Structure 1
Amino acid sequence: MIVDQRLVDAVKAGDAAQVRAALRDGAHPDARDGSGPHSPAALVIAAQAGRLDLIALLLEGGAQLGPLNPHTASALRVAVLRSHVEVVRDLVAREALAAEAASRRGSVLTSALQMGAFEPQPAVPAVLEVLLRGGATARPGEEAPLIAAVMSGSTPAVLRLLLDHGADADVRRSDGAPALVVAARRRDHAAVDVLLLAGADPDAVDGRGRTALMHAVERGDKRVAGVLLTAGADRAVRSPDGMTALLLAQGWQRQNIQFTLGEHVVGQENVPISRSLIRVTPTSVRLSGDRSMFEFWARVLLAAVDDLGDDEWEDRTSRDADTARRVAGKLRDGGRAAPTASWWEVELSDAEFAVGRKGLVESGVGEFNRFEIVDLLDDLDRQWQVCGICS
C-alpha cells in the first residue's frame, strides 16, 4: 500500500512528523521495507537508527514489539547489535525480552556477547548491563553466558560484568570442562586471571581429569601457567591417565615451562605421555614487514656471531656460525616486495628461523637499542610459539 511505503520512507528518513501523519492516515505500524520474509519492519529500521522518538510513535501506533516471524531480527536484537544503549534500555523496559520468546534465533544475551567480542566498544558493557538487569538469560541448549564469553574471547570487563551479576566462576561447558580450563585451552591469560580472582578452583578438572595448568603446559603458554601457579594451582595433580603438569612439559620437551614449574635441570628426554592436542610445526616461515626491520635483524645476528666468535656461538646455540651468516644474508638481501601488498617478504626454513631467533637471544646489545631487540624477539615468539618453532 502507498501509505505503508510512506511510513517506511518516513522512518528511513528519520522524519517523525511524516511517521505520525502516515500512521494517522492508516499505515500499518508493522509495514516492511520490501516484500520478502526477511524484509525489516519499520520498528526495526527505527531501532537500527537509534531513534527513540520513532520507536515510541510506532509502538503507540500498535507495532509488534517482538520479531514479526521466528526467523527475523527484532528491534531489540538490532539495537543490541548496534550498541544503542538507550534504545535497548527503552525496549527492555517495554518487556521486549519476553517478546523474544517468539524468536527461533539464539538468545539476545548470547548475541550481545558474540558481538561484543567481535566488535568491542565502550557501549558493550552498558548494553550487557541493561540486558542482565532486565533478566536476560541463555536459551535452553546454549552454553552458559560465562562460557560463551570465554569461548568468544570477550574482554575482561565483560567477564567481570557477568560475574558481578551472579555467574558462577566454576561453571562448566556442556562437555564438563570448567570455564578456567576453557580459558587456558584458548591461551587467554586475562580470562584465567579474572576467573581466579572471582574464586574459580585453580585445580578444577575437565572430563579427562586435566587441570587448566596441564592444558597451559601442553600449549607451552608461560603466561597462563604463571597466572595459575601464582594463584596456587597444584603442579602435582595427577590425571586418571597418570599425567602431571611436569610430565606433560617433559613429554613435549618444553624446557621453558619446566623451569616455570620449578625444575632447575632440564633436558630433552623422550618421555612418553598422553597428549591432548596436536602441535603444528611449519617447515617454512614467511616473514612480512618493512625492509629496514629485516636489515636490523641481520645486523643483530651478524654482531652476535662476531661478538661471541665462531666456536662460542656454536657452543651456545648448537648452530653453525656459517649458517648464521647465511641466514643474515637472506634477511638482508633475500627478500622481495609482496605482490599484492606494501610489505617486504622473506622466506626461511624453520631451521633458519631458529638460527635467526638465536641471534636475538644471544645478542650482546652493543650498538643496538636493547629494547628494540627484546620487543622484536617477543613479537616473533608470541606469533610462532603456538606452532612449536620456538619451544
Structure 2
Amino acid sequence: MDHHQDQRLVAAVAAGDEAAVAQALAAGADPDASAGQLRGSVLSEAAGSGRSGVVRMLLEAGAQLRTVRPHTPSALRAAVVGGHPDVVRELLAHGALAAQPGSTPSALTEAISQTSFQPGPATLQTLRLLLAAGATPGTTEEAPLISAIRRSASPVVLRILLEHGAPVDQRRSDDTPAVVLATRRGDHAAVDVLLQAGADPDARDPRGRTALMHAVERDERRVVAALLLAGAATDAVSPDGMTALLLAQGWQRQTVQFMLGERRVGLDNVQINRTAVELVPTGLRIAGDPQLFRLLASAIDIALDDLGEPEWQARTGRDPEVARAFAQRLRDDVVPAASGSWHELDATVDEFRSARSALAEIAYGTTPVTPDGSSRADIVDLLQELDRQPG
C-alpha cells in the first residue's frame, strides 16, 4: 500500500482531475482507497459527485462495487442520492446491483425517496434505469408502490412504477391495499392514478374497511369524489356494521352525505365505530400583509350589515358580537412578525370561523357587495386558499 499515492488519488478524485487520477493509479494508488472516515471509497466519492469519467477509470482499475467499509454508501447509492443517471448507468453496466449490500435503504427505495426530496428529470431517469435493470427493494422494505405512496410521491412516479410491473392492487406488509393507504393520506392524485390504472375501488383493509369509508371518515372530499366516479360501492358494509353513509352521519359530514346521494341531512348524533382521530384546535395564528387583514375585517362588516345580526347568526351559527369584535381586532391588533417580513394576529377558532363565514356569504351567498379593491372572484380564491390549509 502506497499511502502517499492513495492521498494523491483522493485529492484528484475530489477535484475531478482525470489526468491526476490516472497518474495516481499508474503509480500504485489503491482504487478502493478511502475518501474519508464516513465518506466511503473514492469510487463512492466520484459517483456521488457525478464524475462519470473518474468512475470509469476507477472501475477499470479494479475498484470494488460493494461497500468497502461499514456504514458508508455504496457507489450506486451515492450516485442515486446525488442524482447522476449517467453514473448510475455506468455502475449498472458493471454489475452494481448484484454487489449491493443487504442493508437498507436499497438503491431502488432511495431512488423513490429522491423523487420527493430532490425532484427533477435526473431523479426520474435514475428511477427508470434501476427499474429497467431489475432493481428490487431490500428484504425488510415495502414494495416500491407502497414506498412511493408513503412518501407522497408525484403521480408520475406512481405511473412509472405501474409501467414497470408494480401491481396496481399492491398491499402493504400488513395487507392494507395501496388505494386505502393513499386515501388515508388524503392523496387524491395518487388515488386517481391507481383507479385509472384499474385498482379495485372497493378493496378492503385488514379490518374490512373500504377506501370510501376511510375517505368519508377523514372528510377527504376529493378522494370521495374520485372513488365514487370510479364506481365505489356506497352500500358496502364493514364487519363492524359500518357503511360510508353511517360514518358520514356519525362525523356529521353534511357535504359528504350529499355526495353519497342523501337529499336530507342534519346534525344527528349517530353512533359509529371510528378509525380516525380528529384534532380540535382552540386557536391559530394568521399571517399575511396588513391589507389582507383589512380585507377580512371589511368582509365581516359587509356580511353583517347586509344580513343583519339575527339572520347572520341563523345562517352562519356564529355570534355577531364575536364577529364584530374580531373585525376590529383585524384592524387594530395586527403586529409585525418577530422573525419574518409578514404580519401576524393570534385568533380563536371561533373568531377565524366568523371571518370565513363572512367570506362564504360574499362568495356564494346573497351579499352583493365586496370589500374595496376586490372582486367576487378574489373572495372565492381567498376562501378556497384558506380551506386548503390544515385545520
TM-score of the superposed pair, with normalisation by structure 2: 0.95
Q: Distance in 2 between matches of 1:103 and 1:23?
A: 30
User: Deviation per CA, 1:323-371, whole angstroms, max 9, x where unpaired?
Assistant: 2211111222222211122211111111111111100111135243122
Q: Which amino acid aligns with 1:319?
A: R
Q: Distance in 2 between matches of 1:315 and 1:339?
A: 39
- Offset of 1:231 from its aligned partner? 0.6
- Name the structure 1 match of 2:226: 227
- Name the structure 1 match of 2:376: 370
- Name the structure 2 match of 1:32: 34
- Name the structure 2 match of 1:314: 313
| Identical positions, percent | 52
Aligned residue pair count: 382
- Name the structure 2 match of 1:79: 79
- Offset of 1:70 from its aligned partner? 4.5
- Offset of 1:294 from its aligned partner? 1.1
Alignment of 1:56-95 (within 5 A): 56-95=56-95
Alignment of 1:119-158 (within 5 A): 119-158=118-157
Alignment of 1:265-344 (within 5 A): 265-344=264-343
Q: Does 1:353 align with 2:355?
A: no
Q: For 1:14, which of 7, 13, 16 is the aligned residue?
A: 16
Instruction: Say if 1:250 and 1:271, in contact at 8 Å, map to a contact too.
Output: yes
Higher deviation after alignment, 281-290 or 315-324: 315-324
Q: Distance in 2 between matches of 1:247 and 1:333?
A: 45
Q: Distance in 2 between matches of 1:39 and 1:146?
A: 30
Higher deviation after alignment, 130-139 or 349-358: 349-358
Q: Distance in 1 between matches of 2:288 and 2:159?
A: 37
Structure 1 segments of 4+ aligned residues over 3 angstroms from their partners: none
Q: Which amino acid aligns with 1:222?
A: R
- Offset of 1:103 from its aligned partner? 4.3
Instruction: Say if 1:180 and 1:200, in contact at 8 Å, map to a contact too.
Output: yes
- Name the structure 2 match of 1:241: 240
Higher deviation after alignment, 256-265 or 361-370: 361-370
Instruction: Say if 1:70 and 1:103, in contact at 8 Å, map to a contact too.
Output: no
Q: Distance in 2 between matches of 1:277 and 1:345?
A: 32
Give the SS at the match of 1:345.
strand
- Offset of 1:318 from its aligned partner? 2.2
Q: Distance in 2 between matches of 1:144 and 1:70?
A: 26
Q: Gaps (5+ residues) in structure 1?
A: none
Give the SS at the match of 1:153.
coil
Q: Distance in 2 between matches of 1:236 and 1:303?
A: 44
User: Deviation per CA, 1:117-176, whole angstroms, max 9, x where unpaired?
Assistant: 222212222111100000001111211100000011000000000000010110111111
Q: Distance in 2 between matches of 1:86 and 1:231?
A: 40
Q: Distance in 1 between matches of 2:70 and 2:169?
A: 34
Q: Which amino acid aligns with 2:380?
A: V
Instruction: Say if 2:235 and 2:243, in contact at 8 Å, map to a contact too.
Output: yes
Alignment of 1:157-172 (within 5 A): 157-172=156-171
Instruction: Say if 1:69 and 1:103, in contact at 8 Å, map to a contact too.
Output: no
- Offset of 1:236 from its aligned partner? 0.9
Give the SS at the match of 2:388.
helix
Give the SS at the match of 1:33.
strand
Give the SS at the match of 2:34.
coil
- Name the structure 2 match of 1:43: 43
Q: Which amino acid aligns with 2:369?
A: G
Alignment of 1:255-270 (within 5 A): 255-270=254-269
- Name the structure 1 match of 2:187: 188
Q: Distance in 2 between matches of 1:62 and 1:142?
A: 31
Q: Distance in 1 between matches of 2:207 and 2:193?
A: 24
Instruction: Say if 2:242 and 2:273, in contact at 8 Å, map to a contact too.
Output: yes
TM-score of the superposed pair, with normalisation by structure 1: 0.95
Q: Distance in 1 between matches of 2:94 and 2:173?
A: 33
Q: Distance in 2 between matches of 1:191 and 1:355?
A: 34
Q: For 1:380, which of 364, 369, 386 is the aligned residue?
A: 386
Q: Gaps (5+ residues) in structure 2?
A: none
Q: Which amino acid aligns with 2:277?
A: I
